[in-house]
Structure 1
Amino acid sequence: MLLLFLSPTLIAHNIDENDQSSIVLTKQEQQWLAENPVVNIGVDGYFPPYSYFNEDDQLVGLAIDILSLISVKTGVEFVIDDEHKWQNIVENLQQGNIDAILTMVKTPERAQAYFFTTPIIYKSLVVITQVHNHHITDREDIANKTVALVKGYQYSD
């Protein structure tokens, strides 16, 4: 099984879509792709700026752009699954309904169950406020406060 996880904990590589050089794949990767000409991908549709629906209800974002460039460079056909809710995407991977997930954060538990690619982008989780609001400057400022997080996402652990 080929698993491609474009994790948001990854460093950006300079991928130029006009660069005519191709990516060299191993014999094992080439064999897997020969047996699986279409790679089905699970994408979280609610994870901006990495993957989200724009005002025209199109799936866009950094992870989508990178996947498109990988397709151009490798010739691999990626098909994005219709399910875009995180818990269902993970379940689809576990059941073998999809081949890979974009933007899954590598944790010790997940590393035992899945293969992760080399990181592409590293990011930190931050709290963003309006420019005039200086009430939150570090973790202690939100201690004993209610903070909403998405259930099932790595950072909510």
Structure 2
Amino acid sequence: MRALIQRVAHASVEVEGREVGRIGPGLLVLVCAMQGDDDAAADKLAARVAKLRIFRDAADKMNRSVQDVGGAALVISQFTLAADTRTGNRPGFSTAAPPDEGRRLYERFAQALRDLGLPVETGEFGAEMKVSLLNDGPVTIWMDSTDRA
């Protein structure tokens, strides 16, 4: 699974003009299930996101996790993170998981964060969404569940 993580002061998501998710300080997590991903990949990525130390400590160093600071997560499905831009001008998305599996793994990822004690809001899988955020830092991190053992 892939994730683009942004440390935010606040974030929200709308679908068809109605707000479906909102958080205060925490993480906006855009997440994509890739072909071949499984439950273990979703759980592993969720654990890494929850422990990612990108919040400031008393010495103003990025040394605290979203768990440490009592933050929340807004999790948005984002199949375009699977974009293959190696050739041509139009990205391909054939490496993304099929929609049914993508939805299942997206929901598993969000639940895994909840199981780790984080308040989690979500968008709507497959919907056209409007995401608003105030990036704090800015801090933006790319993660892939296959990056380390």
TM-score (norm 1): 0.36
TM-score (norm 2): 0.38
